[in-house]
Amino acid sequence: MITTEPRMTNLFLQLGLDASAEGIARFIRDHQLATGMAVADAPYWNDGQRQFLAESLQADAAWSTVVDELNESLHEDAVKAATGL
């Protein structure tokens, strides 16, 4: 049973990261991914973080929407470069 509402701050807490607005923005800014890199395959996750992200996406779990939002944010620079926006 999920007792924590899936949202970005709680995802960062779940991952053991700084969940402040500034911490989230800094993490996203500093950890941009290349177009073909899956969020769960990023080199900066530890095994537990990687497993949580992968399982959340595969199981279409309650966290999947928030993990997908993180994925989109981490690919923002690559998408802008590819589309010229």
* pTM for this model (two decimals): 0.87
Residue 1 lies in a domain: no
For 55, the domain range is 8-83
37 CB neighbour count, 10 Å cutoff: 15
Residue 2 lies in a domain: no
- In tens, the pLDDT along 61-71 reads 788 999 999 99
DSSP string, 42-66: -TT--HHHHHHHHHHHHTT-TTHHH
Residue 74 lies in a domain: yes
| Number of domains making up the chain | 1
**pLDDT exceeds 70 at position 3:** no
Residue 3 lies in a domain: no
CATH of the domain at 55: 1.10.10.1130
- In tens, the pLDDT along 4-33 reads 677 999 999 999 999 999 999 999 999 999
